[in-house]
């Protein structure tokens, strides 16, 4: 345990607090994971990388961390999370698949993208569909405590009653009055006493394929239930950290707090942490802007807004160059600058490894051990100040300048100092920031990755064909042909070769 005084910003108290875990030496951390009905995009990459940084750092400073990140495979509806069709069921209907085929397919692809970004897998990855009983128990408790009501086979959380006894809106800083004003009239609202009430259990319409029996109706859990039920199951009635993107503060996390207090009488989470959002060329990501660039599209460079492909490490480095609580704007120029910056850092690392035997240059100043100690402390201070990764990166850039002066024979370094220097660099760049040296990937690794990218494109083409989107399917085939790929349709899919 190296006793770093870690300050983290708590969304709930709106200030930085010294992190003190509930149990000595152990940390429980829950992060909201993806709804698996489509490929992960940048909006998923940022929380994944932010909380990977936290996970890595907590472990580095000696904590045993139980990191739970869920997979939402039921209950996330299209509008306001609470109304409309289930996102996964809709995809399954359109593509004539079993909903769990959709969920599995996108879960696998999410895992591939996370591995490419070098995000460590969580300790537990529970699925909402695997925890229907726990969610029903939660609904039962809330009903028993009088904070929910049954209506036409569905169960809704009674926000007004809760707000009267506790306070609804403590996380987002909203009051019930302005929540009510902001809610829109939607279909099915006749079941609710109040616009602001949210679904704990929804009765399934006859055509709804994802359904489970319950005391109230054949139906499915409301989206907010899963994180409260699964967080409690795996981390306990109280645990240390709950994280996610800032877009989840309201309503998702606000509802989670209300569910926890209504069911168990006290809050569940000590530190709420939220990463800020990503804009693309200054615009919010949204369907109307057609700027939902998926991670596979980034890695292959296939989205019209991209002028080139970007490696997963460039994306990771780019995200870490901003503090997680500031907004980040993605654009090709900024990404290309990140690509160059990452290459510069890796060049510095390669030189530093060569210097580990020490290098004497007569009459030139020495790099002292104090310099390395200061660098290490600077990096720890930055991380301890609410995970200030941009400051760590800037300290490493400064370190690259020192490495270059030694390499240019303008300074000397002893083997002992060079090794300590390399140790600090390796610890912060690779262990904590989670960068990899993949700028130096072997040819075999490159070839494999390249093959996967072509496969991914051809899978997109098959999907386009299935959806009768001939324009896209022809475009993928023609673009690949222009690059010298021969694509053949086979009875069980496709085959390709590179004829050059
Ligand atoms: Zn959640």
- The string of pLDDT tens digits covering residues 322-371 is 999 999 998 999 999 999 999 999 999 999 999 988 888 888 899 999 99
3 state SS of 358: coil
Arithmetic mean of pLDDT over the chain = 91
Residues 6-15 pLDDT 10s: 999 999 999 9
Cβ atoms of residues 263 and 141 within 8 Å: yes
Superfamily of domain 7-275: HUPs (3.40.50.620)
**What percent of the chain has pLDDT above 70?**
94
For range 283-307, the mean pLDDT: 86
Residue spans per domain, the chain? 7-275, 280-436, 443-498
Between CA 156 and CA 221 the distance in angstroms is 11
The pLDDT value given to residue 483: 84
The pLDDT value given to residue 446: 59
Which helix (DSSP H) or strand (DSSP E) does residue 101 occupy?
A: helix 99-116
Pick 365 or 188 by higher pLDDT. 365
Look at residues 446, 431, 430 and name the one whose alpha carbon lies nearest to residue 345: 430
The pLDDT value given to residue 442: 43
Q: How far is the CA of 253 from the centre of ligand 1 (A)?
A: 7
Cβ atoms of residues 166 and 266 within 8 Å: no
Task: Give the C-alpha distances (Å, rounded to integers) separating 341 from 8, 317, 390, 442.
Answer: 27, 9, 12, 21
Q: How far is the CA of 391 from the centre of ligand 1 (A)?
A: 30
Pick 82 or 272 by higher pLDDT. 272
Cβ atoms of residues 150 and 192 within 8 Å: no
The burial of 357, by beta-carbon neighbours within 10 Å (0-12 exposed, 13-18 middle, 19 or more buried), is given as exposed
Q: How far is the CA of 29 from the centre of ligand 1 (A)?
A: 12
The pLDDT value given to residue 179: 82
Q: How far is the CA of 76 from the centre of ligand 1 (A)?
A: 10
Q: How far is the CA of 350 from the centre of ligand 1 (A)?
A: 41
For range 127-138, the mean pLDDT: 97
The pLDDT value given to residue 182: 67
Q: How far is the CA of 486 from the centre of ligand 1 (A)?
A: 44
Cβ atoms of residues 24 and 89 within 8 Å: no
Domains 7-275 and 280-436 share a fold: no
The pLDDT value given to residue 105: 93
CATH of 280-436, one of 1.10.760, 2.30.30, 1.10.730, 1.10.3470: 1.10.730
For range 177-188, the mean pLDDT: 65
Q: For ligand 1, a single-atom ion, which residues have Cβ within 5 Å?
A: 32, 227
Between CA 468 and CA 462 the distance in angstroms is 10
Give the pLDDT band (50/70/90) at residue 46: very high
Between CA 306 and CA 330 the distance in angstroms is 10
Q: How far is the CA of 69 from the centre of ligand 1 (A)?
A: 9
In this predicted structure, the answer to whether residue 445 has a pLDDT above a threshold of 80 is no
Residues 394-404 pLDDT 10s: 999 999 999 99
pTM for this structure?
Answer: 0.86
Exposure string (b/e) for 226-259, b if CB count within 10 Å is 16 or more? bbbbbbbbbbeebbbbbbbbbebbbbbbbbbbbb
For range 62-90, the mean pLDDT: 84
Q: How far is the CA of 215 from the centre of ligand 1 (A)?
A: 24
């Amino acid at each position: 345990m190296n006793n770093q005084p870690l300050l983290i910003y708590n969304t709930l108290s709106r200030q930085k607090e010294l992190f003190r875990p509930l149990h000595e030496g152990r940390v429980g951390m829950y992060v909201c994971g993806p709804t698996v009905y489509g490929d992960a995009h940048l909006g998923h990459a940022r929380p994944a990388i932010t909380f990977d940084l936290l996970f890595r750092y907590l472990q580095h400073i000696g904590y045993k961390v139980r990191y739970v990140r869920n997979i939402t495979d039921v209950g996330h509806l299209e509008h306001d999370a609470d109304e409309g069709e289930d996102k996964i069921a809709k995809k399954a209907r359109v593509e004539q698949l079993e909903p769990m085929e959709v969920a599995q397919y996108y879960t696998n692809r999410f895992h591939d993208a996370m591995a490419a970004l070098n995000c460590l897998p969580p300790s537990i990855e529970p699925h909402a569909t695997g925890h229907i009983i726990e969610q029903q128990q939660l609904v039962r408790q809330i009903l028993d405590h009088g904070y929910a009501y049954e209506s036409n086979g569905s169960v809704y959380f009674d926000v007004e009653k809760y707000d009267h006894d506790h306070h609804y809106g403590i996380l987002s800083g909203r009051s019930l009055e302005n929540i009510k004003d902001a809610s829109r009239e939607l279909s099915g609202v006749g079941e609710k006493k109040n616009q602001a009430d949210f679904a704990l259990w929804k009765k399934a319409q006859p055509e709804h394929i994802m359904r489970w029996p319950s005391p109230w109706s054949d139906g499915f859990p409301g989206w907010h239930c899963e994180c409260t039920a699964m967080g409690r199951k795996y981390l306990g009635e109280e645990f240390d950290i709950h994280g996610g993107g800032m877009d989840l503060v309201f309503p998702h996390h606000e509802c989670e707090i209300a569910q926890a207090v209504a069911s168990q009488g006290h809050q569940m989470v000590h530190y709420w942490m939220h990463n800020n959002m990503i804009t693309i060329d200054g615009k919010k990501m949204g369907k109307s802007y057609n700027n939902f660039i998926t991670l596979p599209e980034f890695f292959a460079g296939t989205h019209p807004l991209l002028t080139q492909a970007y490696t997963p490490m460039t994306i990771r480095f780019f995200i870490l160059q901003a503090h997680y609580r500031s907004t980040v704007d993605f654009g090709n120029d900024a990404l290309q600058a990140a690509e160059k910056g990452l290459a510069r850092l890796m060049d510095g690392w390669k030189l530093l490894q060569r210097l580990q035997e020490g290098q004497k240059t007569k009459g030139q100043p020495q790099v002292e051990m104090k310099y390395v100690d200061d660098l290490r402390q600077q990096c720890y201070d930055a991380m301890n100040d609410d995970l200030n990764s941009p400051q760590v990166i800037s300290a490493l850039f400064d370190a690259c300048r020192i490495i270059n002066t030694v390499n240019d024979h303008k300074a000397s370094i002893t083997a002992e100092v060079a090794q300590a220097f390399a140790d600090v660099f390796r610890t912060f760049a690779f262990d904590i920031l989670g960068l990899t040296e993949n700028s130096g990937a072997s040819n075999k690794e490159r070839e494999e990755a390249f093959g996967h990218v072509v496969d991914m494109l051809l899978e997109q083409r098959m999907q386009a064909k299935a959806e009768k989107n001939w324009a896209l399917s022809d475009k993928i085939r023609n673009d690949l042909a222009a690059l010298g790929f021969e694509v053949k349709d086979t009875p069980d899919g496709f085959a390709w070769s590179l004829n050059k």
